[in-house]
């Protein structure tokens, strides 16, 4: 079954949970799609887990287009959301539409995601009016990491919690089809989820959200720079990869790889003529 923004909204109405994962390349996206994931996000977290920058600030439009297009070739049924990178939309509604359009046309996205609350309403309205679905992102917004002062839980006091709730309503009103809630206390995320008609997709926001998203390297144990508390490990793929790499190095060193079965044959007479 093909998943669209309409099926996302319907899932909320019918009380069905949505699962999303990040992906950055064709073969991983294909595996997720075949496993039945509802949505794939080409996150600007690629700055951390693919490009090794340590944050998402340096990620460019070209990076997002390149990885979006690669992922799109592996997607048959999932909804493909591509992140708008830092300063591709904050500058003006015009820039936001032009860059969202590039992510759709060149990055083959079905929808775009951008970070921020009520201050992003003009941009969201303009993108939605251009016929492009927008996913919002509230709570810990990594593009603003230097303003937030670090990777911390958001919305913990009354004023901050109220602001998050009002921001979610403003985003809904502006026309987003879903909202990511990142690093938000579970009870607050549950309250926001009840207050808006569009699905909330949580990451470190508890089980009360309408869906969940994880960075796949985190859930597979492939990224050891930093593991947030909200991650559950569904595999130790990093360890399995390291063990496989070590076996390969050992076999090559010992001369036991490649074996005869990995080679190509040629008639002995041909070789003899070469001596
Ligand atoms: O960039 C990303 O991977 C994200 C998710 C963490 C929601 O925005």
Query: Residue 92 maps to which CATH number?
Result: 3.20.20.60
State which residues of the chain have pLDDT below 50: none
Same domain? For 102 and 138 the reply is: yes
- Position 225 scores a pLDDT of 86
Say if residue 123 is in the same domain as residue 202. Answer: yes
Residue nearest to atom 5 of ligand 1 (CA): 43
Question: Both 131 and 262 in a single domain?
Answer: no
d(CA 33, CA 78): 6
Instruction: Report phi then psi at 193, rounded to 5.
Output: -60, -40
Say what the pLDDT of residue 5 is: 98
Angle at 153 between CA 152 and CA 158, to 5 degrees: 125
Are residues 207 and 264 located together in one domain of the fold? no
Enclosing domain of residue 221: 5-236
Per-residue confidence (pLDDT) for residue 4, from 0 to 100: 98
Looking at the structure, do residues 161 and 257 belong to the same domain, yes or no?
no
Residues 178, 265, single domain; the answer is no
The active-site residue out of 14, 182, 250, 269 is 182
Ligand 1, closest atom to CA 115?
A: 8
Give the binding-site residues of ligand 1, using a 6 Å CB cut-off: 22, 41, 43-45, 83, 137, 180, 182, 203, 213, 215
Number of domains in the chain: 2
Residues 244 and 129 in one domain: no
> Could you tell me which residues come within 8 angstroms of residue 249 by beta carbon, excluding any fewer than 6 positions away?
none
| Ligand 1 atom nearest to 45, measured from its CA | 1
Which residue has the least CA distance to atom 8 on ligand 1? 43
Q: Would you mind telling me the total number of residues written for the chain in this entry?
A: 275
253 alpha carbon to ligand 1 midpoint, in Å? 40
């Amino acid at each position: 079954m093909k998943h669209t923004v309409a099926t996302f909204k319907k899932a909320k109405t019918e009380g069905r949970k949505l699962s999303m994962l990040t992906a950055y390349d064709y073969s991983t996206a294909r595996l997720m799609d075949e496993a039945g994931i509802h949505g794939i996000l080409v996150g600007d977290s690629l700055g951390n887990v693919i490009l090794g920058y340590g944050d998402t600030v340096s990620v460019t439009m070209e990076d997002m287009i390149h990885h979006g297009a690669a992922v799109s070739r592996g997607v048959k049924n999932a909804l493909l959301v591509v992140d708008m990178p830092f300063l591709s939309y904050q500058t003006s509604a015009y820039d936001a539409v032009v860059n969202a359009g590039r992510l759709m046309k060149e990055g083959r996205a079905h929808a775009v995601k951008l970070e921020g609350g009520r201050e992003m309403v003009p941009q969201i309205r303009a993108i939605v009016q251009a016929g492009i679905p927008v996913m919002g992102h509230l709570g810990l917004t990594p593009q603003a990491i230097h303003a937030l002062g670090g990777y911390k839980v958001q919305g913990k006091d009354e004023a901050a919690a109220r602001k998050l709730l009002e921001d979610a309503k403003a985003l809904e009103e502006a026309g987003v089809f879903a909202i990511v809630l990142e690093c938000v206390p579970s009870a607050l995320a549950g309250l926001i989820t009840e207050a808006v008609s569009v699905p909330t997709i949580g990451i470190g926001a508890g089980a009360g959200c309408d869906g969940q998203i994880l960075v796949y390297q985190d859930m597979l144990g492939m990224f050891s720079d930093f593991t947030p508390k909200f991650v559950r490990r569904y595999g130790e793929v990093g360890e399995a990869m390291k063990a496989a790499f070590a076996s390969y190095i050992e076999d090559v060193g010992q001369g036991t790889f490649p074996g005869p079965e990995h080679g190509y044959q040629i008639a002995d007479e041909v070789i003899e003529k070469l001596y």
